Amino acid sequence: MKKNDAIFLKYSLILSLVVLLIAFYPVYVYASKIQVYSIITGYLISLFNIIIGYSLNRSALNKNVKSFMVIVFGSMTLRLVIVAIFLVILLTYTQLDSISLVSSVFFFYFLFVSLEIYFLTKKPGNTTATGNNTV
């Protein structure tokens, strides 16, 4: 594991803890047990999604612009399809709360994607963000 990968994981966990601390009281007071399980499941789906996405996109940074775009947009599309399949399976075959599950998946998805974009654009040696790559 490279240093930047460890930092990304560290920031992902810190961001998760911050959200957990902010959401603890409202979830504790207002959510049922099934809703809590749904939120945790949505979080885990999004976390798994972003870890895979970060590793794929990190490998794309060393490619030319065309390959970079194919890898980034292709992995994004594939990951969204896989998340949608997971959601359909979970909603069909479990008793998880659909609103809590889908809401938490999308909340954490956008939160983690923001973090992923930040790390990919700030990563040392990233010439794609500055436009120095050749086609």
In 10 A of CB 76, how many CB atoms? 15
- What's the pTM? 0.81
Q: Give 8-39 as a DSSP string.
A: HHHHHHHHHHHHHHHHHHHHHHH--HHHHHHH
Percent of the chain with pLDDT over 70: 90
Residue 135: pLDDT band with limits 50, 70, 90: very low
pLDDT at 30 over 80: yes
* Cβ contacts of 15-19, under 8 Å, gap ≥ 24: 15/111, 15/112, 15/115, 16/43, 16/47, 19/108, 19/111
Say whether 129 sits in a helix, a strand or coil: coil
Average pLDDT of 28-42?
Answer: 92
Q: Check: CB of residue 108 under 8 Å from CB of residue 42.
A: yes
Instruction: Give the end-to-end CA distance of the chain in Å, rounded to a whole number.
Output: 29
Q: Average model confidence (pLDDT) for the chain?
A: 85
pLDDT at 125: 53
What pLDDT does residue 101 have?
Answer: 94
